[in-house]
């Protein structure tokens, strides 16, 4: 063995082979892949996958994974043949609703830089002659999609890795993952022990079992899925057996997909009820009748799909099914892959729940993360550590993974919540919200009011409303009323869902200074808005930090990944402690011009501007309730964030509610909150900016104090500032007032040049608002662009940022 870093990759399917190949490409030579079955038809999901690669995805990250996978697989050769057939893909629409859906997907493709075209039913049939054009209304063509030979690709990547020193061990079962002082040190196998600095689990449907070996929960569920191959079709009798020319086809209205296999056709169906399987119940390679990933085929479940197939492709009506498969593949609670290093066991990495479509892209990103510390694309949606502990419970994983399977081809609005298990997490005033007629959406397990029917009487005539059902699906005119009341009087907002932590200890200040961009060395009582960066200067998260004493800080965060980041960077001398306080506390946003009048009547503490300035924090009493009050406003109005322990939450709400009655105070929901924040120009991390953006591009340069000393990402940020920026997050107003949803492409000179992030209607300014990433040369006030929505272009203007800025003297007086 050499002296460089060593890695063991568990699993010789396409993902494990991709991770290994990309590790050696980045300079690691001591890489060993262990596979419990044979190479490279291992018996896992890679072995039976039909290989369809569809690149369009609502997630930019997933689209990038797929685009790289296509690029990489096209470069691979196996026995002189390409591992990828770029036959293209077509998604068809049977209904008007699905036709609108594929228009939106065409917009997504344009936003992410992927070529696609909307085509007529006749054009679909011209490319797939077996199809009855009379059954459909049109289609979406992606010319660069195609079919991967996953087994060939795995072997080709393995050959490339071997050429640089990697080893592949077949029929080698991992019996345990070895650790020392909490860190991975290798694996024990049926053929001996392999020492390693890094262990990467790419075991797919067996991933949860590998995780158990080190006490790490891998939240995925193997699901059964049916696929059949027909006998030879007379219409394709002249086709060579290995020739495929028809584009791959998705009939999402019937939850089905198709691919040509020479003179035969393959047909897959999601129509049956979800059938989860426990990882522990999957047989090993030596126990399986055919291969571990294949379950018994349920013929009754395929009767309706087969009838639907014969209706769409009449040539199938008289053809027998020659081969039936019921294969296993992995689903997670949110349908996204699991990538990253365990927060509990350093050196233990995973790349799980990855389909063939994204395999090479995931392998590349995982290897980059391991070797370079920062992947080249943002992985916030895929991070293993994105889940709260409840989301890793077997009951939750099974329920949510089953719903993900059931809805895989459904028309789903981006705001549409999963339905079970709910309610799961509720704030102390959930009952009060229910009494006020709250319409709840779900966020990370929390029930979060979107608007309150009790405010319906405040709705005024002539409220600007969405012109289409899509934008109006989770909209109500009550949102406009709550928006206006917050601006005119005062409202209570439930902010309990925000992640928060306490950082305490003699080293707390130095610790937080090293992780954030802003200056925190201020007396107790000061608040700072700051960013946490990656080493390359990208925005890892934005945080609000309140210094409550010399050694105690309260931090507003964006999720479990931030807790993980804090804990990973803790000093080893024990001088700092991080405690997640989210579940033990609750938070109210009291905002509006009358906010001071409401709270001052309940407290002996001084809430005047002189006694309680902007961006200040104090521990106060609201009557008998101990409260940490932060003079912050995420809606651009006078107000406070009020935090207390969960036991006092209901009392705090009731006190404020009673005191606010004479001021016409209401409860406000997230619908109004979002419009208010966009009018004020406040960014939302993960939606408006993420790790691929730096503070200067995102309009957050004011949070960076390069002169304060060293912090993670400082050197890279200084270089970025010197080089200048070539893109910018801009505020757009939609000239015709069209409501948008987000992720729409922005056109300049008839070319897609950017994409929309956050959207809302600004009822104070009377404009439809969209924030978007645009080239720097376009990001000038007054510039005209177009936004595509349902395949129609809408004129928009680059506008003042922010659109709403209440006179600060009045606000603070």
Catalytic residue ranges? 225, 257, 542
d(CA 142, CA 88): 6
Contact between 193 and 57 under an 8 Å Cβ cutoff? The reply is no
Q: What is the separation of C-alpha 798 from the centre of its chain, rounded to a whole number of angstroms?
A: 27
d(CA 540, CA 560): 13
Question: What are the phi and psi torsion angles at 104 (to 5°)?
Answer: -65, -40
For residue 276, what are its two tokens?
């989860």
Helix (H) or strand (E) holding 756: strand 751-762
In this structure, the dihedral spanned by the alpha carbons of residues 297, 298, 300 and 302, taken in order and rounded to 10 degrees, is -50
d(CA 218, CA 348): 12
Contact between 235 and 129 under an 8 Å Cβ cutoff? The reply is yes
Q: What is the separation of C-alpha 624 from the centre of its chain, rounded to a whole number of angstroms?
A: 41
Q: Return the number of other C-beta atoms located less than 10 Å from residue 286's C-beta.
A: 11
The candidate with the shortest Cα–Cα distance to 698, out of 755, 769, 774, 784, is: 774
d(CA 148, CA 129): 22
SS (H, E, C) 568-634: HCCCCCCCCEEEECCCCEEEEEEECCCHHHHHHCCCCCCCCCCCCCCCEEEEEEECCEEEEEECCCC
Helix axes 96-111, 60-75, angle to 10 degrees: 70
Contact between 535 and 690 under an 8 Å Cβ cutoff? The reply is no
CA quadruple 371, 373, 376, 382: dihedral sign: positive
Phi-psi region of 209 (alpha: psi -120 to 50; beta: other; left: phi over 0): alpha
d(CA 76, CA 150): 11
For residue 275, what are its two tokens?
């059938």
Contact between 772 and 729 under an 8 Å Cβ cutoff? The reply is yes
Question: What are the phi and psi torsion angles at 502 (to 5°)?
Answer: -115, 130
d(CA 483, CA 675): 7
Non-local CB neighbours of 126 within 8 Å, separated by 6+ positions = none
DSSP string, 455-478: GGGGPPTT----SSHHHHTT--HH
The DSSP 8-state label assigned to residue 295 in this structure reads P
In this structure, the dihedral spanned by the alpha carbons of residues 313, 319, 325 and 326, taken in order and rounded to 10 degrees, is 60
Contact between 804 and 679 under an 8 Å Cβ cutoff? The reply is yes
d(CA 752, CA 745): 6
The DSSP 8-state label assigned to residue 670 in this structure reads H
Residue whose pair of structure tokens reads 């060579």 in the numeric block: 240
∠ Cα 114 116 117 (to 5°):
160
């Amino acid at each position: 063995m050499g002296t460089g870093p060593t890695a063991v990759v568990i699993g010789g399917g396409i993902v494990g082979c991709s991770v290994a190949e990309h590790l050696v490409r980045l300079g690691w030579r001591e890489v060993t892949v262990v596979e419990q079955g044979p190479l490279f038809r291992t018996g896992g999901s890679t072995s039976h996958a039909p290989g369809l690669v569809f690149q369009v995805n609502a997630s930019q990250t997933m689209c990038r994974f797929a685009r790289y996978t296509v690029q990489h697989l096209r470069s691979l050769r196996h026995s002189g043949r390409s591992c990828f057939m770029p036959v293209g893909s077509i998604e068809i629409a049977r209904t008007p609703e699905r036709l609108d859906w594929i228009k939106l997907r065409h917009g997504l493709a344009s936003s992410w830089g992927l070529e696609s075209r909307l085509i007529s039913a006749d054009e679909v049939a011209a490319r797939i002659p077996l199809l009855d054009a009379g059954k459909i209304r049109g289609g979406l063509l992606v010319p660069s999609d195609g079919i991967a030979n996953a087994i060939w690709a795995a072997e080709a990547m393995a050959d490339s890795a071997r050429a640089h020193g990697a080893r592949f061990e077949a029929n080698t079962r991992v019996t345990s993952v070895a650790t020392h002082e909490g860190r991975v040190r290798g694996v024990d196998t049926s053929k001996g022990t392999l020492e390693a600095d890094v262990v990467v689990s790419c075991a797919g449907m067996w991933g949860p079992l590998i995780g158990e070996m080190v006490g790490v929960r891998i939240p995925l569920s193997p699901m059964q899925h049916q696929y059949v191959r027909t006998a030879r079709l007379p219409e394709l009798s002249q086709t060579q057996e290995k020739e495929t020319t028809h584009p791959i086809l998705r009939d999402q209205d019937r939850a089905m997909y198709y691919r040509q296999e020479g003179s035969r056709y393959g047909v897959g169906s999601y129509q049956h009820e979800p059938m989860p399987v426990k990882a522990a119940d999957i047989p090993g390679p030596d126990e399986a009748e055919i291969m571990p990933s294949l379950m018994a085929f349920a013929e009754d479940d395929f009767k309706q799909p087969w009838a639907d197939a014969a209706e769409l492709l009449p040539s199938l009506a008289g053809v027998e099914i020659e081969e039936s498969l019921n294969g296993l593949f992995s689903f997670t609670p949110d349908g996204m892959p699991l990538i990253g290093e365990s927060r509990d066991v350093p050196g233990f990495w995973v790349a799980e729940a990855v389909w063939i479509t994204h395999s090479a892209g995931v392998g590349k990103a995982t290897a980059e993360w391991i070797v370079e510390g920062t992947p080249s694309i943002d992985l916030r949606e895929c991070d293993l550590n994105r889940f709260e502990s409840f989301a890793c419970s077997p009951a939750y994983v099974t329920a949510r993974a089953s719903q993900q399977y059931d809805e895989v081809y459904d028309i789903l609005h981006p705001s549409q919540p999963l339905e079970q298990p709910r309610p799961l997490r509720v704030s102390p005033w959930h009952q009060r919200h229910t009494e006020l007629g709250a319409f709840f959406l779900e966020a990370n397990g929390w029930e979060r009011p979107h608007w309150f029917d009790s405010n319906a009487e405040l709705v005024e005539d002539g409220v600007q409303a969405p012109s289409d059902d899509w934008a109006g699906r989770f909209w109500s005119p009550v949102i406009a009323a709550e928006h206006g009341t917050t601006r005119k009087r005062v409202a209570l907002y439930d902010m309990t869902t925000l992640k928060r932590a306490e950082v305490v200890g003699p080293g707390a200040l130095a610790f937080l200074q090293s992780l954030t961009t802003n200056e925190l060395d201020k007396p107790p009582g000061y608040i700072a808005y700051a960013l946490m960066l990656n080493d390359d200067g990208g925005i890892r998260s934005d945080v609000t930090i309140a210094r409550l004493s010399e050694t105690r800080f309260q931090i507003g965060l964006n999720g479990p990944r931030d807790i993980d980041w804090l804990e990973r960077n803790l000093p080893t001398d024990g001088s700092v402690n991080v405690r997640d306080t989210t579940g033990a506390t609750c938070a109210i946003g009291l905002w509006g011009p009358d906010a001071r009048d409401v709270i001052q009547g309940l407290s002996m503490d001084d809430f005047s501007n002189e006694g309680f300035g902007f961006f200040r924090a104090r521990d106060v009493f609201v009557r008998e309730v101990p409260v940490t009050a932060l003079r912050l406003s995420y809606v651009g109005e006078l107000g406070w964030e009020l935090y207390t322990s969960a036991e006092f939450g209901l009392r705090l709400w009731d006190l404020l509610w009673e005191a606010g009655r004479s001021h016409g105070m209401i409860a406000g929901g997230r619908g109004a909150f979002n419009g208010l924040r966009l009018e004020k120009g406040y960014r939302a991390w993960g939606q408006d900016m993420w790790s691929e953006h730096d503070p200067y591009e995102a309009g957050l340069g004011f949070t960076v104090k390069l002169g304060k000393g060293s912090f993670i990402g400082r050197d890279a940020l200084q270089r970025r500032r010197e080089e200048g920026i070539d893109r910018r997050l801009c505020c757009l107003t939609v000239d015709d007032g069209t409501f948008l949803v987000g992720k729409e492409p922005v056109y300049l000179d008839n070319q897609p040049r950017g994409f929309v992030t956050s959207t809302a209607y600004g009822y104070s300014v009377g404009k439809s608002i969209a924030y978007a990433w645009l080239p720097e040369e376009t990001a000038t006030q007054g510039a005209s662009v177009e936004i595509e929505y349902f395949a129609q272009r809408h004129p928009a203007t680059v506008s003042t940022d922010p659109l709403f800025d209440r006179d600060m003297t009045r606000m603070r007086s």
